[in-house]
Chain A
């Protein structure tokens, strides 16, 4: 069922406005506004992204080799994702296939990044809700409170995040905003000493990640009805997948499955993304609303991220994570899991895979090789796509003969989830808030649903693009009064309803 009717209030009567501002324990700037009638029935619920930075515009005119380290400043939690997506796009501009060791190092870097980001999301940001209750004492509802009450869980979360950050530091020189990956490959080899240092605690990390999967599973499965129904919406799922539908965070083809798990798209070259995905603009948010062109804006939205990837993949290459995946899918009756809180469980399965695969890569003999840069036949355009911690991340650039960027388009992971997050917010508003006197604890329910998506609202505020788009202008009562449509060539047409 859809909660679309709560997007814009249809009431002529005066409504009371409640704002959750700022949304806390998420990355970036967002707020939720609710409009309530005299009986406290929710008439409208919206997640607004309130910041605008404009990366795609201001990187135009910059040399291409600056771009990866510049765009990683989109986000301090997943800088490596932007570094790598931009590097992949620029590899294509340079007409390069990177060397096997460079690819292994980039994969290692990316796994470290997904690991630290997932640990942060689950332990530092969301575990207080899951361990203490959605309406528990606000003073204790944070990572310090978790560490006081459950020191073992607190230390595990801090330790897992730390290790992921250390993997990044050994490859990039810094934990946040280092270098390492460059157009054409990698600029520094991994030392034997770094390899040994990172291998030392790896078995502890695997043990902790297993515990984390079990913790997330148990939190979900105890009181499963309540957890499955919380923020529940039905959606399609998008991800990139490796050969044979393998779980792959670094490279692959696009796959979309519907709510029943049937494939809508599969094996699609991501360089064609602009033919598949368009973005809708709404006047009340700086974050756009992407959808599959073929299905239209109303029906064509989908979810990305851990839940999408675990639902979509045919298998995971590492044994412990694969075992956990099978348990996850059989729990959900071999149908795609739709419960929004199942994101957490899926996220921990992914973290387990990251740690297993980090070990594999560190043990592979050529990881310390020094053949790191390739050359190729220069082109004018490149698309780089990666599965960032929060989902499919698309970077697209055009570069002129002077090596300067002339066009940039970024569709970041969180943006794909815009419609879904709004739907989940409305589901919670309708089922848990409507008709009640709103308390801090009840309002936190809305944030619990948002946190499950682990949104990266900074990423989502780059908000500049040259994509085909559709703009709807509505009156305060929701009546559509004007529609502007821009096609891929930038031509604008007006569709007056």
Chain B
């Protein structure tokens, strides 16, 4: 095989906006592909993460499956980066945290008023919800945090350029945004 830097990416409980912003490096992705190969990612058909140099995680933790996928990435990635507001602090989905998950489900699939016997989607194929949406550093160790909703394409570029060159990643003030 090649000696390319292996990068894996995934979205947990997020919106894919961070992945879109990553793709906003536009033509630079072709330059990146000369030195990087992609492992598991929503843009490839590799379904499980193999040994990788860098893992980029978008989204927070809202169900048990999210935790399993995150652990797979932690086990296989030398460097793991929390990307975007949801991975770093739960983001918008964490707005459900002042409600109970059960209340949300009951509201969704029955009506909270006048129910005697609540029945909500409960097939074994559906992963159980966590009581609250959590940032990913509460489940595994994280090496770096790339802020933004989403981080800009240039911020992704800077992070990857630094990591590939073996430098400690630094973001200029302009690239360090939280909106």
Interface set of A (CB-CB < 8 Å, partner B): 21-22, 24-29, 31, 33, 46, 48, 50-59, 70, 73-77, 79, 120, 124-125, 138, 141-144, 147-148, 154-155, 158-159, 161-162, 165, 174-177, 281-286, 444, 447, 458, 463-466, 469, 471, 473, 482, 484, 486, 490-492
Contacts and interface: CB of A to CB of B under 8 A. Distances in A.
24 contacts: A25-B44, A25-B45, A31-B125, A48-B125, A52-B105, A54-B96, A57-B104, A59-B95, A73-B15, A77-B16, A142-B38, A142-B44, A144-B33, A159-B26, A175-B21, A176-B20, A282-B121, A284-B125, A447-B45, A464-B107, A471-B110, A473-B119, A491-B114, A492-B115
Contact of A281 (B47, B93, B121, B153): B121
Given A158-B27, A286-B121, A76 B16 contact: yes
Contact of A458 (B16, B99, B115, B153): B16
A57 B108 contact: yes
Nearest to B32: A144
Contacts of B115: 492
B126 A284 contact: yes
Given A33-B125, A58-B96, A482-B119, A24 B44 contact: yes
Interface string B2-41: 0000000001011111111101101101100100001000
Contact of A53 (B27, B46, B93, B127): B93
Interface in B79-125: 91-93, 95-96, 98-99, 103-105, 107-111, 113-115, 119, 121-123, 125
B123 A283 contact: yes
Given A120-B23, A492-B111, A48 B126 contact: yes
B110 A484 contact: yes
Contact of B15 (A76, A282, A482): A76
Contact of B47 (A24, A46, A73): A24
Contacts of A466: 111
B127 A143 contact: no
Contacts of B114: 490-492
Given A54-B108, A70-B92, A492-B115, A176 B21 contact: yes
A165 B24 contact: yes
B63 interface: yes
Nearest to B113: A490
Closest 5 CB pairs of A and B: A76-B17, A284-B123, A76-B16, A464-B108, A76-B15
B129 interface: yes
Given A27-B16, A464-B108, A471-B109, A124 B43 contact: yes
A410 to B, nearest CB: 11
Given A57-B99, A144-B33, A286-B126, A75 B16 contact: yes
A486 B107 CA distance: 12
Nearest to A147: B30
A214 B167 CA distance: 46
B155 to A, nearest CB: 12
A286 B13 CA distance: 14
A74 B46 contact: no
B178 to A, nearest CB: 12
B38 A76 contact: no
B62 interface: yes
Q: Which of A52, A70, A144, A177 has the most CB of B within 10 A?
A: A52
Nearest to A71: B92
B135 interface: no
Given A138-B46, A176-B24, A283-B121, A486 B110 contact: yes
Contacts of B108: 52, 54, 56-57, 463-465
Contacts of B103: 57
B69 to A, nearest CB: 8
B24 A285 contact: no
Contacts of B109: 281, 469, 471
A70 to B, nearest CB: 6
Given A75-B16, A147-B30, 14 more contacts: A24-B44, A54-B96, A54-B108, A58-B98, A76-B15, A155-B30, A158-B26, A162-B24, A165-B24, A175-B21, A284-B121, A458-B11, A490-B114, A492-B114
A76 B19 contact: yes
Q: Which of B47, B104, B109 has the most CB of A within 10 A?
A: B109
Nearest to A176: B17
Contacts of A142: 38, 43-45
A486 B122 CA distance: 19
Contacts of B91: 73
B136 to A, nearest CB: 15
Contacts of A26: 42
A86 to B, nearest CB: 14
Nearest to B98: A58
A320 B14 CA distance: 38
A27 to B, nearest CB: 5
Given A53-B13, A176-B24, A25 B119 contact: no
A70 B129 CA distance: 22
Interface string B44-88: 111100000000000000110100000000000000000000000
Contacts of B147: none
B45 A177 contact: no
A139 B122 CA distance: 35
A138 B91 CA distance: 34
Contacts of A21: 47
A458 B179 CA distance: 20
